[in-house]
């Protein structure tokens, strides 16, 4: 049976869901008010990181909160002005740091991330996107012994989970990445990781492949969803669309459309920034993540992207100019020969839940609406799992037990 599916949102999550649905023979309409991959999925660091095993909220993290408030130049920043609006999310985030809750969320993170490449493989094939994917490993680098010591727990867990990793000293680091600054004394090479060298193009290729296979892409802004006896009616500002199921992959804006069904979830933008520098004297081969500064440097098509920052300041305010200057400085600290004069600048909204898990699955009481949002810092990696699971939800073959941890109900 072929169903009519409307996918709201053409970021990487919506594109992965649409592709899986098209591949399964469904009739798909993708709607976005901007072009495919023009929002958060445009500017990420490209990291495809199957061994990421922890949520952001971990035991002991509350000690860091004063630092977030007091250091406007730190990797995690909370604007004082936004504090009242962010307070409920932060309270929930603190709660998610309790040991039992954090461990439970870690299981969800691992379930989503572990098969990143296996889940993506059919999508790369479908979209003919393999030239954008580089499974050349990723290196976490440490500028302090203290920073490296903090990684010990993660090293142990990766070992337990069977992920390959290699501990590098300063010389080995330089052998892998000769342009790295001498400030880095330690590193961990994760050979099963990789990166996408043009995250926006990946989304575009997925959507183009869907359209080539019979799907439609509509540039429209969705203002409401109604459920009636025949199915769902999706109202846009220029048109309306009938569907058997609606997949809501609207990133940070997703709550607007499920609030009328009593299903809104705590969602906060962790505003992320990047600068991208045209290639010159520096030629990295893989994604390098500076652990202490939570900053990533990725060789992209057309330049080196320095990305990072989680700034809680709301969706409306313009980017904070100072963050771009900080990224320039950090880029030059990672690669001293980096010339940042001609850097382009970008800021986008990571859709973050307090437990770092996305919201996946049907809305309670409105099962024709299926959530696929809230992937926070790991949505590029987690989109392929999401696409696979959402197609199963539509087909009625999803593992309901596995889905429970991703339900919007967990926040009630």
Ligand X SMILES: Cc1cc2nc3c(=O)[nH]c(=O)nc-3n(C[C@H](O)[C@H](O)[C@H](O)COP(=O)(O)OP(=O)(O)OC[C@H]3O[C@@H](n4cnc5c(N)ncnc54)[C@H](O)[C@@H]3O)c2cc1C
Q: How far apart are CA 254 and CA 251, in angstroms?
A: 6
Calculate the alpha carbon distances from 121 to 109, 129, 393 in Å.
20, 10, 20
Count of helices and strands (H, E) across the chain: 13, 21
Contact between 378 and ligand X by CB under 6 A: the answer reads yes
Q: Which position among 79, 192, 221, 344 is part of the footprint of ligand X (CB under 6 A)?
A: 221
Tell me, residue by residue from 355 to 374, as one string, x for binding to ligand X by CB under 6 A and - for no binding.
------------------x-
Q: Which position among 19, 379, 393, 398 is part of the footprint of ligand X (CB under 6 A)?
A: 379
Contact between 387 and ligand X by CB under 6 A: the answer reads no
Cβ of residue 182: shortest distance to ligand X, in angstroms?
25
Q: Which position among 186, 193, 377, 405 is part of the footprint of ligand X (CB under 6 A)?
A: 377
Size of the site for ligand X (CB under 6 A): 42
Contact between 201 and ligand X by CB under 6 A: the answer reads no
Cβ of residue 46: shortest distance to ligand X, in angstroms?
6
Q: Which residues of 161-187 are buried (b: 16+ CB within 10 A; e: fewer)?
A: eebebeebeeeebbebbebbbeebbbb
Structure tokens at 289: 């993540």
Stretch that binds ligand X, among 20-28, 326-334, 379-387, 394-402 (CB under 6 A): 379-387
- 44/391 with CB nearer ligand X: 44
Cβ of residue 38: shortest distance to ligand X, in angstroms?
6
Q: How far apart are CA 277 and CA 106, in angstroms?
A: 35
Cβ of residue 12: shortest distance to ligand X, in angstroms?
5
Measured in whole angstroms, the distance separating CA 380 from the mean position of its chain's CA atoms is: 5
Order of strands across the sheet that contains 366-373: 216-219, 27-32, 4-8, 245-248, 366-373, 359-363
Contact between 168 and ligand X by CB under 6 A: the answer reads no
Phi, psi of 195 (to 5 degrees): -150, 160
Cβ of residue 207: shortest distance to ligand X, in angstroms?
11
State the virtual CA torsion across 312, 316, 317, 318 in degrees, nearest 10.
Answer: 110
Q: Which position among 5, 6, 7, 14 is part of the footprint of ligand X (CB under 6 A)?
A: 14
Q: How far apart are CA 273 and CA 257, in angstroms?
A: 27
Outline where 27-178 has alpha helix (H).
Answer: 65-70, 83-96, 99-113, 116-127, 145-150, 152-161, 170-176
Contact between 163 and ligand X by CB under 6 A: the answer reads no
Tell me, residue by residue from 15 to 54, as one string, x for binding to ligand X by CB under 6 A and - for no binding.
----------------xxxx---xxxx-xxxxx-------
Binding site residues, ligand X, CB under 6 A = 8-14, 31-34, 38-41, 43-47, 221-222, 249-251, 253, 257, 272-274, 307, 348, 350-351, 373, 375-381
């Amino acid at each position: 049976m072929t169903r009519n599916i409307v996918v709201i949102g053409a970021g990487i999550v919506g594109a992965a869901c649409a592709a899986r649905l098209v591949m399964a023979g469904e009739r798909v309409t993708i709607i976005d008010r901007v072009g495919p991959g023009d929002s958060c999925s445009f500017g990420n660091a490209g990291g495809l990181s199957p061994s990421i095993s922890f949520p952001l909220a971990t035991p002991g993290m509350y000690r860091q909160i004063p630092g977030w408030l007091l250091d406007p130049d730190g990797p995690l920043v909370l604007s004082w002005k936004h504090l009242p609006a962010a307070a409920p999310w932060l309270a929930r985030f603190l709660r998610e740091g309790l040991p039992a809750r954090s461990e439970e969320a870690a299981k969800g993170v691992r379930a989503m991330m572990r098969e990143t490449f296996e889940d993506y493989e059919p999508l790369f094939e479908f979209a003919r996107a393999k030239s954008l994917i580089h499974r050349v490993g990723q290196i976490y680098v440490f500028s302090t012994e203290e920073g490296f010591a903090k990684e010990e727990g993660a090293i142990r867990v990766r070992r337990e989970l069977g992920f390959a990793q290699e501990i590098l000293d300063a010389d080995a680091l330089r052998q892998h990445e000769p342009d790295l600054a001498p400030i880095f004394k330690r590193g961990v090479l994760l050979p099963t990781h990789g990166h996408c060298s043009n995250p926006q193009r990946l989304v575009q290729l997925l959507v183009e492949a869907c359209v080539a296979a019979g799907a439609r892409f509509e540039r429209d802004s969705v203002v409401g969803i109604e459920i009636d006896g025949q199915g769902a009616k999706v109202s846009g500002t220029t048109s309306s669309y009938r569907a058997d199921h609606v997949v809501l992959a609207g990133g940070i804006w997703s709550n607007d459309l499920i609030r009328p069904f009593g299903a809104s979830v705590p969602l906060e933008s962790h505003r992320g920034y990047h600068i991208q520098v045209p290639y010159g004297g520096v030629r990295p081969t893989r994604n390098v993540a500076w652990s202490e500064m939570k900053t990533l440097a990725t060789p992209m098509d057309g330049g080196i992207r320095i990305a990072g920052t989680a700034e809680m300041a709301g969706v409306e305010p313009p980017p904070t100019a100072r963050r771009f200057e900080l990224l320039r400085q950090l880029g030059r600290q990672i690669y001293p020969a980096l010339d940042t004069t001609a850097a382009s600048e970008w800021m986008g909204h990571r859709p973050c839940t307090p437990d770092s898990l996305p919201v996946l699955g049907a809305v309670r009481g409105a099962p024709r609406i299926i959530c696929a949002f809230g992937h926070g810092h790991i949505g590029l990696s987690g989109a392929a799992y999401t696409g696979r699971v959402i197609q199963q939800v539509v087909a009625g073959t999803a593992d309901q037990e596995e889905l429970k941890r991703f339900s919007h109900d967990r926040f009630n």
